[in-house]
Amino acid sequence: MPYGKNVNIDNNIFHTYYAKVKKGSRKILIVDDDAVSRSLLSHLLEGRYEILTAENGQEALDILKRESAEICMVLLDLLMPVMDGYEFLRIVREDLQLSMIPVIVTTAKDQEEEEIRCLELGAVDFLPKPYRMELVRCRVDRMIHLRETAAILNMVERDPLTGLYTRDFFYLKVAQILQDHKDCPYDMIVADMERFKIVNERLGVEAGDRVLHYMGERFKKLMGPGEICTRLHDDLFAMFVHHSDAQRRSELLWQWDEVVPGVTIHNPVIKYGIYENVNSNMPPFGMCDRAVFAMNRIKRHYGVNVAIYDHSLSKDILKEHQILDSMEDALKEHQFLVYYQPKYDIHNDCIAGAEALVRWIHPEFGFMSPADFIPLFEQNGFISQLDFYVWEEVCRDLKAWKEEGRTLVPVSVNVSRIDFSDPHLVEKIVELTDRYGIDRELLHLEVTESVYMDELWQIIQMLKDLREKGFKIEMDDFGSGHSSLNVLSELPVDVLKLDMKFLQEGSSSKKSILGFVISLSKWLNLKTVAEGVETKQQLVALKRFGCDYVQGYYYAKPMNRQEFEIYMEEHARTEEDKRDYLTAEFQEPAVNGKRKETILIAEDSEMNREILKSMLEPYYHIVEATNGKEAYAYLKKHADEISVILLDMMMPVMDGFQFLKKRSKHKEMDEIPVIITSELEEDSDLMALKLGADRFIGKPYQQSLLLLSIQNMIKWKKVRKSDKKK
């Protein structure tokens, strides 16, 4: 039992069996066509055992089938009418459950040949006729004692933690069920709790035990007649059930909806693998293997919790073996190539970086995508070697580009979760960049969101360490899991890489989440990269939301080193180009000598204020008010200092409408342009404009739109002022 101590559980079979033994209600079945022999034996054993009798094999079989659980021994005569002892033995031997009941054969003296035949048929001992009282008693008692000890051992083999069958007993039972119900379709389902090890590590073995016990109970309750389940090992459970319709299946494949008393687990998920309509000629462990195989394919796929075994997968197994056999040579022979996919700065269309993505040019299978081999390497740990190889290739390329005087952009490499099991990871990365003389800022590390979700202290510490040493950390596939947004600010991250899913499904709810996430990351001072950008529409939406960088086929596919070098020559822009691009639209306000223009932000949400500030602060001086009243009070004293007001309409104490009304009564205030920065709701824009606002900018804010609006407002205000003077 790999996990924990024994939990006190009611192990039904064990207890009923034990109670039976204690009460002395063990039954012995005497089978003999001779009435005298029957009564003799009965008489001899009465008192200590309960006696049942049968006159022939057939009758005995009937009794046995009815009461097999109670009968602890059979005394069998060989020569009988209807069904003789040999036939009886043969039938019993074929039946898993019946064959566990010991049979002692009663024979005439010196019948060696007969005895051998019976032993072959499964009898355990002999009683020579005529019966000798002492001998009969001794042999029966001894045999029953032996059996009970063995039986008790067997019973203990029931998993004490969950009370479910042990793995071996489960296999035995599966074989038996299939034998008895040859034409019934059955499914083998395995279930595994994701990240269970963390429960054990973080909450302790006792909590882990409680979770397993709870899971066992739930699986047990789901079993119908003729269905069984087991804990195979650790947190891996198996159910052998009738092939079922969708309704029943959805019952079987439960997820954590309730909480285990006293155990808090974050987002617990159970992954299921199903081998449907099992081939009954296959040994039960093979069935489990197939279900596990299916399940392993969806490990760490967020949102996919059930996988069904597909026969075509067996072919994949073969390929997998070949892949695993050839991986080490492949590394030595440089069959792995690094491809680069550019990342663009969304604001000025310049290449801002690249992601290194590995490819395998396999001598037999040809070009292979990471999806074909990375999951395998993650399972067997080879990924760490491969990742290090890729990082080194990237450093080598960066060094060469530097020496050749090419434009350098930061390159992101992928860091697998497995890599963090190496306690020297940080030193190794530092040593690598030092050895190639690479500026640490040029190596970005992409770490998948799920690594953070595990919240393993050691990993977070390593990432902090790397970040302090100057490497930029990007959280990959953000949004594919369920990281809690509220811990984001505490994690060592510089960049959020938004999962492609955000873009793929064009539903408006997904879009609004996208907008929210981008706003949030601005507030947290994180840059955002959107990956998988394929269309112009996606790009426009991302621009509107204020995303910083984009990566995707719309711009460029991953390409090999030579292609990437040519691409960079053609597309990379100089710093000068970049400046031209920005100034073409927005002219940085001149500050030489004069003070900066001041913008008043009236907005109750701190997050929105921060976002606006982050967009404006490089160019303007900012004053903040958290409601209309504060803004009004400030303006009464300082109206002449404010160039533009950014006004939210929904605020406590005094909202935007009230503010606009009050403002209209003061000449100096009334001259300051107002930009409404509220959510567009029904007539609110119309109302605001009627009350004298000048412009409306909806959320999420787009920096260039905001800057240009302010710029034009200020220009216009000045024009108006000078007009008035004339």
Cα–chain center distance at 575? 43
Q: CB of 11 within 8 A of CB of 56?
A: no
Angle value at C-alpha 715, between 713 and 718, nearest 5 degrees: 105
| Binding flag, residue 383, ligand C2E (CB under 6 A) | yes
Distance CA 136, CA 126 (A): 9
| Stretch near ligand C2E under the rule CB under 6 A, chosen from 14-22, 48-56, 295-303, 363-371 | 363-371
Distances from the Cα of 262 to the Cα of 205, 208, 258, 469, angstroms? 13, 11, 12, 40
Measured CA to CA, the distance from residue 655 to residue 145 in angstroms comes to 88
Output the smallest distance, CB 532 to ligand C2E, in A: 4
Measured CA to CA, the distance from residue 383 to residue 374 in angstroms comes to 7
Choice between 224 and 381, CB closer to ligand C2E: 381
CB of 251 to ligand C2E, least distance (A): 35
| 387 sits near Ca ion (criterion: CB under 5 A) | no
Per rule CB under 6 A, is residue 451 in the interface with ligand C2E?
no
Alpha-carbon distance of 281 to 279, in angstroms, equals 5
Residue number with CB closer to ligand C2E (167 or 343): 343
Site string for ligand C2E, 596-615 (x = CB under 6 A): --------------------
Q: Which of 446, 449, 597, 630 binds Ca ion (CB under 5 A)?
A: 446
Determine which residue in the list 122, 128, 370, 698 makes contact with ligand C2E, applying CB under 6 A.
370
Region of 617 on the Ramachandran plot (φ > 0 left; ψ -120 to 50 alpha; else beta): alpha
Does 560 interact with ligand C2E (rule: CB under 6 A)? no
> Which backbone phi and psi does 208 adopt, to 5 degrees?
-60, -45
Q: Is 648 in the site for Ca ion (CB under 5 A)?
A: no
For residue 340, the minimal CB distance to ligand C2E (Å) is 10
Least Cβ distance, residue 355 to ligand C2E (angstroms) = 6
Residue number with CB closer to ligand C2E (71 or 429): 429
Our CB check for ligand C2E shows the closer of 499 and 648 to be: 499
**Residue 390 near ligand C2E by CB under 6 A:** yes
CA atoms within 13 A on the CB side of 187: 22
Q: Provide the 3-class DSSP secondary structure of residue 357.
A: strand
Q: How far is the CB of 357 from ligand C2E (least distance, A)?
A: 4
Of 357 and 616, which CB lies nearer to ligand C2E in the complex structure? Answer: 357
Residue 390, binding choice from ligand C2E, Ca ion, none, Cβ under 5 to 8 Å by partner class: ligand C2E
Euclidean distance between CA atoms 323 and 369, whole angstroms: 13
C-beta closer to ligand C2E: residue 275 or 436: 436
The first and second tokens of residue 326, run together, are 């050839």
Report which residue's Cβ sits closest to Ca ion: 446
CB closer to ligand C2E, 77 vs 393? 393
At residue 463, the 3 state secondary structure works out as helix
The answer to whether 498 touches 514, Cβ cutoff 8 Å, is: yes
Tokens representing residue 323 in the block: 């892949």
CB 551 within 8 A of CB 533: yes
At its nearest, how many Å lie between ligand C2E and the CB of residue 315?
A: 21
Place of tokens 């393993």: 456
Q: With binding defined as CB under 6 A, does residue 558 bind ligand C2E?
A: yes
Rounded distance between C-alpha atoms, residue 316 and residue 337, angstroms: 23
Q: Counting contacts by CB under 5 A, is residue 694 touching Ca ion?
A: no
- The verdict on 107 binding Ca ion (CB under 5 A) reads no
Identity of the residue, 476 or 630, whose beta carbon is nearer to Ca ion in the bound complex? 476
Among 209, 476, 603, 648, binds ligand C2E (CB under 6 A): 476
Q: How many residues bind ligand C2E (CB under 6 A)?
A: 23
Please state, as a whole number, how many other Cβ atoms lie within 10 Å of the Cβ of residue 50. Answer: 17
Compare residues 52 and 542 and give the one whose CB is closer to ligand C2E: 542
Residue 393 makes contact with ligand C2E by CB under 6 A: no
Look at residue 549 and give its three-state secondary structure: strand
| Cα Rg of the chain, angstroms | 39
Q: Least distance (Å) from ligand C2E to the CB of residue 199? A: 26
Q: Does 341 bind ligand C2E (CB under 6 A)?
A: yes
CB of 122 or CB of 370, closer to ligand C2E: 370
Check binding of 476 to Ca ion (CB under 5 A).
yes
Binding window for ligand C2E (CB under 6 A); candidates: 117-125, 382-390, 481-489, 681-689: 382-390
3-state SS of 233-268? ECCEEEEEEECCCHHHHHHHCCCCCCCCCCCCCCCC
Taking the least distance from each CB to ligand C2E, the nearer of 56 and 551 is 551
656 binds ligand C2E per the rule CB under 6 A:
no
Residue 416 binds ligand C2E (CB under 6 A): yes
Question: Prior bond to 130 cis, omega within 30?
Answer: yes
Alpha-carbon distance 448 to 478, whole Å?
7
| By the rule CB under 5 A, 32 interacts with Ca ion | no
Give the whole-angstrom CA distance, residue 404 versus residue 413.
Answer: 22
Decide: 239 and 183 in contact? Cβ < 8 Å: no
Nearer Cβ to Ca ion, position 357 or 611?
357
Lay out the site mask for ligand C2E across 226-265 (x = CB under 6 A, - = otherwise).
----------------------------------------
Closest of 453, 452, 476 to residue 462, by C-alpha = 452
Q: What's the closest the beta carbon of residue 336 comes to Ca ion, in angstroms? A: 16
- Beta strand pairing call for 495-498 and 472-478: parallel
Element (DSSP H or E) covering residue 189: strand 186-193
User: Smallest gap, in angstroms, from Cβ of residue 228 to Ca ion?
Assistant: 42
- Interface residue with ligand C2E among 77, 192, 276, 387 (CB under 6 A) is 387
Alpha-carbon distance 441 to 690, whole Å? 51
User: Reading across the β-sheet that carries 598-602, which strands appear in turn?
Assistant: 621-625, 598-602, 642-647, 674-676, 695-696
Residue 117 in tokens:
């035949």
Q: Smallest gap, in angstroms, from Cβ of residue 214 to Ca ion?
A: 35
Query: Please, what is the minimum distance in Å from the beta carbon of residue 499 to ligand C2E?
Result: 8
Under the binding rule (CB under 6 A), the answer on residue 553 touching ligand C2E is: yes
Q: Is 82 exposed, middle or buried (0-12, 13-18, 19+ CB in 10 A)?
A: exposed
Per CB under 6 A, does 369 bind ligand C2E? Answer: yes
429 binds ligand C2E (CB under 6 A): no
Which partner from the list Ca ion, ligand C2E, none does 521 bind, CB cut-off 5 to 8 Å by kind? none
Q: Does 414 bind Ca ion (CB under 5 A)?
A: yes
For residues 44 and 130, the answer to whether their CB atoms sit within 8 Å is no
Q: Which residue shows structure tokens 């200590």?
A: 48
Query: What residue ranges bind ligand C2E (CB under 6 A)?
Result: 341, 357-358, 369-371, 374, 383, 387, 390, 414, 416, 446, 476-477, 531-534, 551-553, 558
Interface residues toward Ca ion, by CB under 5 A:
414, 446, 476-477
